Chains A and B, each alone.
Chain A
Amino acid sequence: MVYLFGSWGRLLRVDLSTGRMSTEEIHPMTYRMYVGGRGLATYLLWRELGRKWRDVDPLGPENILTVLTGPLTGYYPGIKLVVSGKSPQSGGVVGSAVSSHVAYAIKAAGYDGIVVSGASRDPVYLYVKDDSVEVRDASKLWGLRGLELVRALRDDVGRDLPSLYIGPAGENLVRTAAVMARWFHAAGYGGYGAVMGSKRLKAIVVEGSGPLPPVANRDDFAKLRYEVIDKVAARTTFRRWGTTSGLWRVGYETSSEPIRNWQEEWHNREEFSHAPIERKHWVKNPWADWGCPLACMKVSRAVVDGVIYLTDGPDYEMGAYLGSNLGLFEVDKVIALSAIADDLGLCGIQVGNVVGFAVELFERGMLTEDDVGYTLRWGDFKSLKKLLEDIAYRRGFGAVLAEGVYRSAVEIAKRKRLPVEDVLKYAVQVKGIGVGAHGIRSRKDYPQPIAYAASVQGGDHTSVAGLPANSEESEVWSAFLDSAVICMFTSVEEDTVLKFLNAVTGWSVTKDELYGTIGPRILSLQRILLLLGGPDVRWDPRKHDDNPPRFYEPLPTGPYAGSLVPREEVSKNLVEYYRQLGWDDLGIPTEETLRKLGLYDAVDVVRALRRELGAS
């Protein structure tokens, strides 16, 4: 008998094509191999779609949407869940984490997660109350934006319950659409808002009234929980300023903030910092989900043109991508754009990335008013606001940008009859995913030169690659945090996190196992699925395991002007990183590695992949 602690070993499955609902038992050994969250999502996607991966349209009914917790959900301070599926951005698998009470509710309802397959003909939402699961009519909710939707859902279910939902962007299959939670929280990377939209699933509401699954060692768990709470609560700077302080720190001090589509990464605009935001705009500080001792969130309020806007922070990524990256340094207007993106259900990073790309093309004369329908200028709030709306509703030129930065570049090149590389060089993305707002050129920020080039989640700044592969610098650590599921801001040193995991689950996971098998197993499967890609994108490691061209240009301004990353260093470190993970020079897991990781069913797939790529 194999016992399971920390997880129920049970998933709720809903097929929206047939209306069939069921529970699926997951074997305890599967948890031991993949932990939960991102790891379990990757396993499920491989198992169910792996053999036909290339033909699976991420926005078709054959894709599955996974909403998974991890064994530490509800136990470890902070509360997150991971949304996944075949990504409409990369064609691979992205574990997209979001803070949400839904995570706790799912577990308290007796499940480890929800897996949605098929697609409904009419708009629906899913209402889960412990064992009772209903697919409810959402025709009156379809079309609603975030804030009005949350109110309408509350009226429909009779009270304020945790929910995940999409805005108009997800409904309109915008590839930069996020799965939203609690007004301002987003599972942005991956584009899973569009996957929900393709299933005509407006929201998932969960009410759980039961206990959490039992833990293996209650005494150790209780002691470790207090230890972690103490450590996390000591991060007082984080609590006071959240990530908003990055607007100044990352821009002025580390010189790694996107400015005007990454043409620069340094600014000295004091008005564009956390100080004026704290003074004038924060109406709630700190703000936390599920008693998180870090409490890094804040609620800000701004009035622009007589309209009141509410948003989180804005946190650093939203502020950078919807502010400096668009040449907008007026914080009230940045708050407004962040609130608009939230309300439309857009990922602020991805939409800020593609809009910055479009503005640069316009400024260079590669796009004109005839193409866009109006003028685009850096820092012009009105046109930027309009463009966000046009993207979310796929209106006019917005429909082109709704495809995300990579596909937009390809389409614009086609329309303009330009070589695609001439347009793609302005797209700051890796494998279809806009790069997060932490540059690599100054070397003062955390991502290493191979951070994005080697990541199995492309430009995702929350899942970066780095050497050595057996340390917290590696993407193995991110994959583990997303599988356990722990917020990266409340994570502590690996020893304590592993002790915590073992106390809850009764396992005896060591660092060697984490870095030698569990992490590489998850990353290897993600890597294989990413390289399989399809149906409209294929990534060749020799070409696409690389930084955006802009990152090879020297920084033009700031204290690190002239700094760049040499291509030779990137190439050398990529090979070394792959070697340490047991992959070949192209980053394809070797057959020996696959066998060691127990991924026997991937051997023939990888053999075919290697043949296709002309690799020996």
Chain B
Amino acid sequence: MLCVHFLGNLSSSIGSKLCFEVEKCVDLYSFIDDLLRSKGGALSVEEVLVTSLDGKPLDSRVSTCDVSDVVVLRLVRGG
């Protein structure tokens, strides 16, 4: 099970927490990217920060099998 927690306005537009059954191990960033695009927030993973629950940024080499909870918040704002 992988739970994705959203902070800030992402929580009101996507939900504060979404959980998924992990059927196969895939690159976490690709997973988050697909998730963001599917939710219509017009965001890509380049614009968010993915961290562990204690706020440590997660490396792009992490897979969906390596973690059970991740936090996503919008990093790039404005434009």
Contact = CB atoms under 8 A, between A and B. Distances in A.
A512 to B, nearest CB: 12
Contacts of A236: 46
A401 B42 CA distance: 35
A434 to B, nearest CB: 15
B46 A446 contact: no
Interface string B5-47: 0011100110000000000000000000000000011101011
Contact of B13 (A443, A472, A473): A443
Contacts of A493: 49, 51, 57, 75
B44 to A, nearest CB: 6
A253 interface: yes
Interface in A422-455: 436, 438, 443-448
A305 to B, nearest CB: 30
Given A237-B44, A471-B8, A491 B75 contact: yes
B8 A250 contact: no
B62 to A, nearest CB: 15
A236 B9 CA distance: 24
Interface in A471-487: 471-473
A543 B55 CA distance: 37
Interface stretch (A129-137, A155-163, A264-272, A460-468): A460-468
B42 A254 contact: yes
Contacts of B73: 471-473
A274 to B, nearest CB: 12
A238 interface: yes
Interface string A497-508: 000000000000
A467 B12 CA distance: 12
A315 B79 CA distance: 7
B9 A448 contact: yes
Contacts of A254: 41-42
A315 B78 CA distance: 11
A438 B42 CA distance: 13
A446 B9 CA distance: 6
Interface string A128-152: 0000000000000000000000000
Contacts of A438: 78
A237 B33 CA distance: 13
B7 A473 contact: yes
B78 A488 contact: yes
Interface string A64-76: 0000000000000
Given A444-B13, A444-B42, A489 B7 contact: no
A238 B40 CA distance: 18
Nearest to B79: A243
Contact of B40 (A234, A237, A253): A253
Given A236-B46, A443-B9, A473-B8, A495 B79 contact: no
A342 interface: no
B77 interface: yes
A237 B42 CA distance: 12
A471 B8 CA distance: 9
A491 B73 CA distance: 14
Contacts of B57: 493, 495-496
Interface string A291-333: 0000000000000000000000001110000000000000000
A253 B78 CA distance: 16
A254 B41 CA distance: 6
Nearest to A320: B79
Interface-centre pick from B46, B57, B77 (highest chain A CB count, 10 A)? B77
A472 B77 CA distance: 10
Contacts of B76: 235, 238, 488-489, 491
15 contacts: A235-B76, A237-B44, A243-B79, A249-B42, A253-B40, A316-B79, A444-B40, A446-B8, A461-B78, A462-B78, A467-B8, A471-B7, A472-B49, A472-B73, A492-B49
Interface of A: 234-238, 243, 246, 249-250, 253-254, 315-317, 436, 438, 443-448, 461-462, 464, 466-467, 471-473, 488-489, 491-493, 495-496, 559
Interface of B: 7-9, 12-13, 40-42, 44, 46-47, 49, 51, 55-57, 73-79
9 smallest beta-carbon distances between A and B, as pairs:
A253-B42, A243-B79, A473-B8, A249-B42, A235-B46, A446-B77, A493-B57, A254-B42, A316-B79
